[in-house]
Chain A
Amino acid sequence: MIPTAFDYARATSLDDAIARLQAAGGAGKLLAGGHSLVPLMKLRLSEPAVLIDIGHIPDLAGIRESDGVVEIGANTRHHDVATSALLRERCPVVADTAAVIGDPQVRNRGTLGGSLAHADPAADYPAAMLAVDADLHLKGPGGWRVVKARDFFQGVFTVDLAADEILAKVTFAASRASAYAKLHQRASRFAIVGVAAALETGGGIIRTARVGLTGAASSPSRLAGVEAALAGQPATAAAAAAAARGAGDGVSELNADIHGSAEYRRAMIPVFTRRALEAALARAGG
């Protein structure tokens, strides 16, 4: 890697990191796992004057649950999310998603917070965060602020995060009947289309459904039509297939590149919606 020259600072606390961001006056960048930022610096597409390493801030990593609410610290590595017994049992869609990010090297270094804040339109996590309706906890000079995942993602590499704010953790209600299904791009392993589903079922009926989409378009989105079609339906594969059929009809600004045309991506949305729903239903357990 041959980046432009930069200073490096190791933050000792969230407040320390925020102060350093402010001092850098817009020329600072947070370094967590480095798996989005460092490749950009290598290509000189990102030229920060100072890197503020938040990787050593205590208590910024970890997965815990209390009162049905799961909390994941921003510095938690993909590998730790993928292999978390708690998540596998209580909210498998998040573990599913982490398990198919990149390759082992990426999963061992990359972090949840870094991926969400970077907001690559083909990243995997956004779909899962939309499906579990996650709250993103941001800390800035003025204190804490909570943003819903659906409001956080605003466009290509664009999120609701001020230059002196830090995404510190996410929280969400556990959803057992949940899953992620993905068509991966064969070079980068990013999602050509990724669909995350979280269902609330009972008495053989789907009470509510949340379905998040990533990769297909310029920013992640909820598949509201699918969600509406599922609500109140029997918790069966047939219902899932029927609801998935029109998935993505309203999605605009489809991505297109050598790995998949817009037409192909559009056609893949129903396929992976059905797969995610079927896998989620299989976990519903009545």
Chain B
Amino acid sequence: MTVTPVLPKLVGQRVKRREDPRLIQGRGTYVDDVKLAGMLHLAFKRSDVAHGRILSIDTSAAEALDGVEAVFTGAQMAEMAGPLPTLLPFPAPERRAVATGVVRFVGEPVAVVVARDRYVARDAVDAIEVDYEPLPVVVDPEQAMTGEPVVLHADFPHNLMLASLPMGTGVGADGLVDDTAVDQAFADAEVVISQRMINQRLAPTPIEPRGVVAHYEPGKETLTIWSSTQSPHLLRTFMASMNGMGEDQVRAIAPEVGGGFGCKSAGSAEECVTAAVSRRLGVPVKWVEERSEAFLATNHGRDLIGYVDLAARRDGTVLGLKLRIVADVGAYNMIFTAAVPTSTMTMASGNYAIPAIRATLTEVFTNKTPTDAYRGAGRPEGIYFLERAMDMLARELGMDPAELRRKNFIRPEQFPHATQTGVVYDSGDYDKALDRALENAGWEQLKAERDAARADGRLVGLGLSMYVEVCGVGPSSALPMGGWEHSQVTVERDGRISATTGASPHGQGNETTFAQMLADQFGVPLEHIRIHHGDTAVVKQGSLGTGGSRSQAVGGAALHLAGGRVKTKMAKFAALLLEAHEADLVFENGRIGVKGAPSAAKPFAEVAAYAYRPIRLPEGLEPGLSEEAFFEPANNTYPFGCNIALLEVDRDTGEPRLLRLVAVDDAGRLINPLIVEGQVHGGLAQGIGQALIEEVVYGGDGQPLTGSLMDYALPRASDFPRFELDATVTPTPLNPLGAKGIGEAGTIGSTPCVVSAAVDALSGFGVRHIDMLLRPEKLWRIIHGARD
């Protein structure tokens, strides 16, 4: 007698990533692995001055090199491609992919070389001579706002891309601002915390830099573009419009993508140039970024100054918040540049029912690399400003930082909750996450341990922070490219399942999580399912792709809907074969059977085969088993959590060392806790990295001082203790999965928590706040201040 193997349910299980074996063994295909016959190699001559007028470019020596096929200056490129795209309805200066008259940051392209191989291309770049008339340089955004010593873009006086955008209580749809409620909150306050805070500039630094292969085929009049991108469909749209082509003529492919962190959306200068050059020359062209090039040319992130005022009563009740933001956007507006800091404003209320909020945003041009999305994209900055201010308030009032937070939480029964900044939180139970974190950390005992260590002369501190953030980015009303996601699920004639998703992953593990979902939905083994992504010729539609922690909440929801549609249709074929009612069918263990009569079950593959050769076709049914779905989210999801850090500062050297990091994240329902933990680990590394390790630094002349990994420090495993993770589950009502999103959470919650721990450790020296980056020397100066 044979026993039918029982397939376990996989959703919620710690399934190992199916992607990993090929990636670990070097069997993945990245952009740089794409090699086409006749392919030429492209390299950029980039500005080595931060601000200058191009007086002349001598390309003759480069053109004379053996193997150089073409050299294009900005003027020539301007004839081949339109201005670079921006997405959002903010005013922006026109930017050409290659500078035409003035360069505004170190790294801005000034010429393009196309050659037989990348070595010759690089030789040719070195052979190009550019003469610049130096222009004054401004790198400090608050200096830039004075309009002195220079204005970068003539149409933007005082270097203001956005002079002042208000948000919050009393801001009318007409943009008129009524400050009565906010002023009243501060008039009623018994205590006001005021602090200027820096949220410093970071370099996203994915392990794979960017890269592009463009192949224009003149005969077919089609463009195929491979790019290390998070958003292949968006790339297709941009490439079509920039090259005057139809979307039907463009195929965009994101092969394996080695990390993105927001800096690989689409529509970069390099994508535009590579495509335009391939179109001009009619041959495939490849550009792959060098690491030191990436520090100059890939967008940076963060770089906000926040002026925070928090009004409260002495019992800890928060009455009002003012947040004035100055965002240093660098030299140009890119895709999401202008929009990112608006999330800092919308998330200013954090986990708290703050009755009056005034946020204002000013965006300023400086002679630096442009900023754009970087993991968290605006939310880490907002949570940082708020949570640091809450920590300062707790210290001022002598309250336990956990209890101050608890006192101001939005209560579970208040969801859905509309904040004063105009967003609606879907669901939440903040006490639950806080309580779990306090319990896991052993909060009371931890405080006693800290006090005991201090009594021994050690500089030990505790930090706690809450976060709430925006995931499942959509809906279409909020995004110019649409906020939906698409999926098509096909049961093949052999019973295998092929599915596509527009959520094009670059490390999120969708090939695993999405297969887990379909395995449960159809009762088939994981090994029989393949998830296709990242190719607009295979994946029919997509909007933003992967970003804003939307893969599961939007892409997963689309997959679930499409899978359900196929299953419904397949049930009709099965019902015919089994002479049963559709409603009585069960899909399990690779078979489709009738509830209560297991012996009558048909193998899944047999039903699939029948659907493709339906000798009797159920009435009204077409052959085949392939269905698609677009999922349009009603709104964003708002996951949340709590972080607790224990940190020690070396009294002699000022070196901070993180001793413990306890994190509780509530991302709604989890498909794969192992992958979730991986996402949290990476997020924590970058969040803690912002506090302790990473910073882009410029000299006053606009020269980058962190132009390589010798000077720009990235977090390493050896920098951290073992993270202590846990999860609470508060499902979202906004999608059928109840999943909220997790990709950015760690980056958002951990930064203020670690800085607060450092401030606590050094509180004996009279500090209330320390601006990032917490370099050892900076902390040493606080400890040894008397000696200076």
Contacts and interface: CB of A to CB of B under 8 A. Distances in A.
Interface of A: 2-5, 39, 43-44, 103, 183, 186-188, 257-261, 264, 267-268, 271
B711 A258 contact: yes
B777 interface: yes
B653 A268 contact: yes
Contacts, number: 50
Given A44-B126, A183-B776, A258-B706, 16 more contacts: A2-B118, A3-B119, A4-B123, A43-B292, A43-B708, A183-B653, A186-B693, A187-B709, A187-B712, A257-B711, A258-B705, A258-B711, A259-B777, A267-B784, A271-B652, A271-B653
Given A188-B711, A264-B780, A258 B652 contact: no
Contacts of A3: 119
Contact of B775 (A103, A259, A271): A259
Given A268-B653, A271-B652, A260 B777 contact: yes
B120 to A, nearest CB: 9
Contacts of A39: 710
Contacts of B705: 257-258
A199 B775 CA distance: 33
Given A188-B710, A259-B775, A2 B653 contact: no
A267 B780 contact: yes
A103 B710 CA distance: 12
Contacts of A261: 777
A260 B775 CA distance: 9
Nearest to B121: A2
B713 A186 contact: yes
Nearest to A122: B710
B613 to A, nearest CB: 56
Interface string B102-137: 000000000000000011001100100000000000
Nearest to B292: A43
A2 B711 contact: no
Contacts of B126: 44
Contacts of B711: 187-188, 257-259
A183 B119 contact: no
A260 B653 CA distance: 11
Interface in B660-717: 693, 697, 705-706, 708-714, 716
A271 B126 CA distance: 45
B726 interface: no
Contacts of A260: 776-777
Nearest to B705: A258
Nearest to B126: A44
Majority secondary structure of chain B interface residues (helix, strand, loop or mixed): loop
- Which 9 pairs, one residue from A and one from B, show the smallest C-beta to C-beta distance? A187-B713, A186-B713, A188-B710, A264-B777, A271-B652, A2-B122, A187-B711, A258-B697, A258-B705
B435 interface: no
A183 B655 CA distance: 9
Contacts of A268: 653
B290 interface: yes
Contacts of A103: 716
A44 B653 CA distance: 35
B127 to A, nearest CB: 11
Contact of B119 (A2, A187, A257): A2
Interface of B: 118-119, 122-123, 126, 290, 292, 652-653, 655, 693, 697, 705-706, 708-714, 716, 775-777, 780, 784, 787
18 contacts: A2-B122, A2-B290, A5-B119, A5-B123, A186-B693, A186-B713, A187-B706, A187-B713, A188-B709, A257-B711, A258-B706, A258-B711, A259-B775, A259-B777, A260-B777, A264-B780, A267-B784, A267-B787
Nearest to A268: B653
Nearest to A3: B119
Contacts of A187: 706, 709-714
Nearest to B693: A186
Nearest to B780: A264
Contacts of B652: 271
A261 B777 CA distance: 8
B29 to A, nearest CB: 21
Nearest to B778: A264
B606 to A, nearest CB: 53
A257 B707 CA distance: 13
Contacts of A186: 693, 713
A283 B693 CA distance: 33
Nearest to B125: A2
Contacts of A257: 705, 711
A183 B713 CA distance: 15
Contacts of B118: 2
Nearest to B775: A259
Nearest to B652: A271
Nearest to B117: A2
B788 to A, nearest CB: 8
Nearest to A261: B777
A198 B458 CA distance: 29
A4 B65 CA distance: 13
A244 to B, nearest CB: 11
A258 B710 CA distance: 12
B770 to A, nearest CB: 16
Contacts of B655: 183
Contacts of B714: 187
A267 B777 CA distance: 10
A268 B123 CA distance: 43
Contacts of B780: 264, 267
A257 B126 CA distance: 28
Contacts of A258: 697, 705-706, 711
A241 to B, nearest CB: 12
A268 B126 CA distance: 41
A3 B117 CA distance: 12
A271 to B, nearest CB: 4
A246 B123 CA distance: 51
Contacts of B709: 187-188
A258 B698 CA distance: 10
Which of B292, B710, B787 neighbours the largest number of chain A CB atoms within 10 Å of its CB? B710
A260 B708 CA distance: 17
B481 to A, nearest CB: 35
A267 B119 CA distance: 45
B697 to A, nearest CB: 5
A6 B542 CA distance: 47
A165 to B, nearest CB: 28
Contacts of A44: 122, 126
Nearest to B777: A264
A103 B787 CA distance: 35
A43 B705 CA distance: 15
Nearest to B712: A187
B303 to A, nearest CB: 16
A3 B716 CA distance: 28
Contacts of A183: 653, 655, 776
A183 B780 CA distance: 13
Nearest to B715: A186
Contacts of A4: 119, 123
A259 B705 CA distance: 11
A271 B651 CA distance: 10
B117 to A, nearest CB: 9
Nearest to A274: B652
Contacts of A188: 709-711
A48 to B, nearest CB: 15
Nearest to A2: B122
Nearest to A271: B652
Contacts of A264: 777, 780
Nearest to A270: B652
Contacts of B697: 258
Contacts of A5: 119, 123
